[in-house]
Amino acid sequence: MTALGAILVLLTACNNNSFMVKGVVSGANGQVMFLENVGVSSVETLDSVKLNAAGKFLFKQSRPQYPDFYRLRLNNQLINFSIDSTETVSFNADAGTFATSYIVEGSENSKAIKQITLAQLDANQAIGRLRKDYDSKLISDTTYREQVLEAAEAYKEVARRYIYSAPMSTAAYYALFQQIDGLYFFNLYDKDDSKAYGAVATSYDFNYPESARAKHLHNLALQSIKVIRQQRALDTEETVNVQEINYLDITLPNLYGETVKLSEVAEGKTVLVNFTAYQSEWSPALNMDFADLYEKYNTKGFTIYQVSLDIDKHFWKNVASKLPWTCVHDPEAAYSQIAALYNVKQLPALFLINKKGEIVKRIEDLRTLDEDVSKAVR
């Protein structure tokens, strides 16, 4: 073999073990763009480039052992994409609309991920507008709930097309795990949504059985089946059984790592049980309302047991340390079995327990909260 031939073989071998991400970002002169690997539970920075006036860039990385997710980050804007093997993926973007108006070539899954991202953004924006209208009392409770569910369903319709047409694809996986306010659009404990988890989990089990994502999905699917079976077992029309499940005890850690039972907090008291996420934009205002209630009724035997489903535990601790009532954290966050057993599908969720240990109301309208508590503490 000639020296030139040896070099060509060596170059071919190198290319077979790497992928490339290249393209142009206009209007980003002097700005730094990062290439990041998005793992199951962490994000790792792989490389970066300071863009010049031409905006050209090229990243080259070792191919992933299994199909995986990556992203380009420019300031606070993200372009998510996936890599299956040794492909070359090209992007053409503008710094001003980096996350939404880019063009991607060389990866059908990455094209699909863009469409899924846009559908998620549409849903998030629609729900954000609805919350503002609701807070301004421009729409009723019923209209708000119905339209929020419609916006979420619009996203899920788009997502299902990718999930069921190619459940083994990275696009299907990505579609399954999109969120709003830290909670997934696809509810792990809803029997219909559970089918989507099952479809992707089964495909990943078959195609990539040793991958971290396959194992993660497998565990989630088993967890989903278990909780749904529990819900089915608890679903009865007999009054006595309904009363038994009307007050499911909760045992979770507080700020200091001590486990605190709801039953212990609720003994002889009226308790407002609240499932919440402190990182949500509505949380500060809600806690201010709770503070007024707590000050008004605490001397009459009223307290609050607040369950945080925040992913960021440190953020939860920072907020909870300033609150006078019982604050606990569920480490399962969006996968909370406790929240599922309380049939929590949207945050915030509020339940009022009287001094007899009975859930007397699931509060849907926050405007009646003061009146509801006033009746319960009598």
* Among 210, 234, 258, residue at a domain's last position: 234
CATH code, 94: 2.60.40.180
What mean pLDDT comes out for the span 112-123? 96
Range of the domain at 127: 113-234
Phi/psi of residue 352, nearest 5 degrees = -110, 120
Q: Is residue 3 in some structural domain?
A: no
Q: Are residues 223 and 250 in the same domain?
A: no
What mean pLDDT comes out for the span 56-67? 97
Q: Are residues 134 and 226 in the same domain?
A: yes
What pLDDT score does 239 carry?
35
What pLDDT score does 163 carry?
93
Q: Is residue 7 in some structural domain?
A: no
Q: Are residues 88 and 131 in the same domain?
A: no
Partners of 261 in the beta sheet? 251
Q: Is residue 65 in some structural domain?
A: yes
Q: pLDDT: is 102 or 312 the higher one?
A: 102
* Among 106, 129, 144, residue at a domain's last position: 106
Global confidence as pTM = 0.63
Question: 52: which 2 tokens?
Answer: 């010049």
Q: pLDDT (tens digit, 9 = 90+) per residue, 332-351?
A: 777 677 887 777 878 899 99
Q: pLDDT (tens digit, 9 = 90+) per residue, 250-297?
A: 989 999 889 999 989 998 899 999 999 998 889 999 999 999 999 999
- Please state, for a pLDDT cut of 90, what percent of the chain lies above it: 58
CATH code, 256: 3.40.30.10
Q: Is residue 1 in some structural domain?
A: no
Q: Are residues 285 and 230 in the same domain?
A: no
Partners of 33 in the beta sheet? 49, 74
What mean pLDDT comes out for the span 226-243? 48
Q: Are residues 230 and 181 in the same domain?
A: yes
What pLDDT score does 293 carry?
94
Angle formed at CA 103 by CA 100 and CA 108, multiple of 5 degrees: 105
State how far the alpha carbon of 340 is from the alpha carbons of 146, 258, 344, 346, 352, in Å. Answer: 20, 23, 6, 10, 17
Q: Are residues 265 and 361 in the same domain?
A: yes
Alpha-carbon span 374 to 378, nearest angstrom: 7
Reference 283, options 316, 329, 331; nearest CA is 316
Q: Is residue 6 in some structural domain?
A: no
Reference 106, options 94, 91, 116; nearest CA is 91
State how far the alpha carbon of 229 is from the alpha carbons of 183, 225, 226, 300, in Å. Answer: 22, 6, 5, 40
Q: Say how many domains are in the chain.
A: 3
Q: Are residues 213 and 198 in the same domain?
A: yes
Q: Are residues 226 and 256 in the same domain?
A: no
Question: 253: which 2 tokens?
Answer: 């850690």
Q: Is residue 87 in some structural domain?
A: yes
Asked whether residue 6 carries a pLDDT value surpassing 50, the answer given is no
In the sheet that holds 88-94, the strands lie side by side as 56-62, 18-26, 88-94, 103-105
* Among 202, 234, 266, residue at a domain's last position: 234
Q: Are residues 90 and 118 in the same domain?
A: no
Q: pLDDT (tens digit, 9 = 90+) per residue, 125-134?
A: 998 898 888 8
* DSSP secondary structure, 132-191, as one string: HHHHTT-S-HHHHHHHHHHHHHHHHHHHHHHHHH-TTSHHHHHHHT-EETTEESS-TTSH
